Amino acid sequence: MKTELVLVRHGITAWNRERRFQGQLDTPLDEQGFEQARKTGRRLASWPLAAVYTSDLLRARQTAEAIAAPHGLDLRIESRLRERHYGGYEGRTYDEIERSDPDGYARWRAREPAFALPGGGETLRSLHERVEAALRDLARRHEGQVVAIVTHGGVLDCAFRVATGLALEAPRTHELLNASLNRIAWQDESFALLAWADAAHLVEAIDDAAQARGHP
């Protein structure tokens, strides 16, 4: 039986606009982010969601609440869905890091799978492994059902690569839009891409500079 996972990136935050590494710091949605969450909730209100899973970080939980409410579902917290740990980069802008640590910034931009971000950060390979494990566990748990998963840009990037086979170090050509719908299917023990970066429910113009940059 086919399982469908509907992955949603959290609504926009002030730090998204500032091009600041959020990582695992607990930043909230801004006013537009809450509006994006409400619109996503309305878009999914008629979908047959069996469960709503979310990262334990605040910006994801705030988005997930708007999706779960119309269905009367409780949020299911899954810490493996949290954003990549950016170590000492967290809370700083991309421009600041590029100036202060040009070598590390270049290695991050180059998507080196084994590069551990300075200050106790996570490697891209470690992130990919935990994301793939979480997605497989949730898909097997909800065989034949439709499940919403609210998470982060780095996690979405890994999900796209899991579903398409795109190499971890390959440049990103797919968008990671706030509050967009990204659908993958699980069947016969493998994932496949159904749809990506569907933001038709968001009326306002999407600020690609704020939303899509930052995850190379």
132 is catalytic: no
Over residues 76-128, the pLDDT tens digits come to 999 999 999 999 999 999 999 999 999 999 999 999 999 999 999 999 999 99
Other C-beta atoms closer than 10 Å to the C-beta of 147 total: 20
DSSP 91-108: TSBHHHHHHH-HHHHHHH
d(CA 153, CA 207): 15
pLDDT digits (tens, 9 = 90+) for 152-177: 999 999 999 999 999 999 999 999 99
Structural domains of the chain sorted by starting position, each given as residue range(s) with its CATH number in brackets: 3-211 (3.40.50.1240)
Indicate the SS3 state at residue 69: helix
* pLDDT value of position 203: 75
pTM of the predicted model, to two decimals?
Answer: 0.93
**78: annotated active-site residue:** no
pLDDT reported for residue 167: 98
Question: What's the rounded Cα separation, in Å, for the pair 79 and 180?
Answer: 21
The one catalytic residue in 4, 35, 78, 83 is: 83
Cα–Cα dist 24/90, whole Å = 8
Q: Give me the catalytic one of 10, 128, 152, 215.
A: 10
